[in-house]
Amino acid sequence: MKRERLDKVLANMGWGTRKEVKQLVKQGLVTVNGNAVADPGQHVIPEQDDIAVDGHPLAYRRWIYIMLNKPSGVISATEDNRHRTVVDLLPLEWANRVHPVGRLDIDTEGLLLLTNDGQLSHNLLSPKKKVEKEYYARIAGIVQPEHVRRFAEGITLDDGYVTLPAKLEILSAAAVSEVNVTITEGKFHQVKRMFAALGLKVVYLKRIRMGPLVLDETLVPGAYRELTDAELAALKGEDR
């Protein structure tokens, strides 16, 4: 197991900045294996050593995997000067350590994976892997079988890029149609631009699946939970 500086571990777990952690140490509030710490730069094995701050034990895990039902109005980033971010929805001990895997537009809801596992993130986002992303959408206008064919062939976007073949499933065709869309890319505003190229407008968009990971519909917008062992195993199988 990897040794790390104590002040870095505590800062990452939400106990403050490195400077604030040093003050906690100076006040004698930090213990390792029952002994008060004098040096904030002391090296520890966080998964193995018993670390406590003011008597509160530190529950440390190296890897974190969170499923979030992203609400509209927050951005898929770790920090922003104007908008609330997805990590702002999480407790500090997670928020300081994780990043979103990919991004959803500010007005798009649904499944977002947050983790500190950079290798998993890279593999799930790699264009070579062609990991499926499935969305539920409401469309202003009647979606027709011809549109299903066009999606299957690939859509030419406004910048001339031709998307990879995508799956369009019509759930209902009306003045506001309901559809499921599955893509294997992640171009900027891709689903919205694909429909725009057909003269249709997306009025609501929600991601419901990424690879084998399906949104837990018991999570209300803004709610989150850790992945189950089965979900994580399936994701790691997808990233091979």
CATH of the domain at 224: 3.30.70.580
pLDDT for res 159: 96
pLDDT band at 95 (very low <50, low <70, confident <90, very high): confident
Pair 147, 196 in one domain = yes
For the segment 142-163, the average pLDDT, to the nearest whole number, is: 97
Residue 238 in this model has a pLDDT that exceeds 70: no
Among this protein's residues, is 105 annotated catalytic?
Answer: yes
**Cα 195–chain centre separation:** 25
Q: Length of the chain in residues, anyone?
A: 240
For the segment 124-144, the average pLDDT, to the nearest whole number, is: 96
Pair 175, 157 in one domain = yes
For the segment 232-240, the average pLDDT, to the nearest whole number, is: 80
CA-to-CA dists, residue 234 to 10, 124, 135, angstroms: 31, 12, 20
pLDDT for res 172: 97
Distance CA 43, CA 222 (A): 36
Among 39, 50, 54, 105, the one annotated catalytic: 105
pLDDT for res 126: 92
Q: Indicate the range of 79-83, 153-157, 229-233 predicted with least confidence.
A: 79-83
Pair 120, 50 in one domain = no
What percent of the chain has a predicted confidence (pLDDT) above 90? Answer: 82
Residue 1 in this model has a pLDDT that exceeds 80: no
For the segment 56-72, the average pLDDT, to the nearest whole number, is: 91
Residue 230 in this model has a pLDDT that exceeds 80: yes
pLDDT in tens, 189-229: 999 999 999 999 999 999 999 999 999 999 999 999 999 99
For the segment 95-100, the average pLDDT, to the nearest whole number, is: 90
Pair 115, 220 in one domain = yes
Chain position carrying tokens 């140490």: 25
Pair 38, 81 in one domain = no
Count the domains in the chain: 3
Q: What is the mean pLDDT of the chain?
A: 94
Pair 119, 137 in one domain = no
Question: Where in the sequence is the domain holding 165, given as residue range(s)?
Answer: 132-210
Angle at 91 between CA 88 and CA 92, to 5 degrees: 85
pLDDT for res 146: 97
Residue 239 in this model has a pLDDT that exceeds 60: no
* Residue 194 · residue 186 · CB < 8 Å: no
Q: Domain containing 23 — which CATH number?
A: 3.10.290.10
Pair 85, 149 in one domain = no
Pair 121, 229 in one domain = yes
Residue 240 in this model has a pLDDT that exceeds 60: no
Pair 82, 201 in one domain = no
Distance CA 106, CA 2 (A): 37
For the segment 146-152, the average pLDDT, to the nearest whole number, is: 98
Pair 97, 152 in one domain = no
Q: Domain containing 201 — which CATH number?
A: 3.30.70.1560
Pair 117, 155 in one domain = no
Pair 144, 177 in one domain = yes
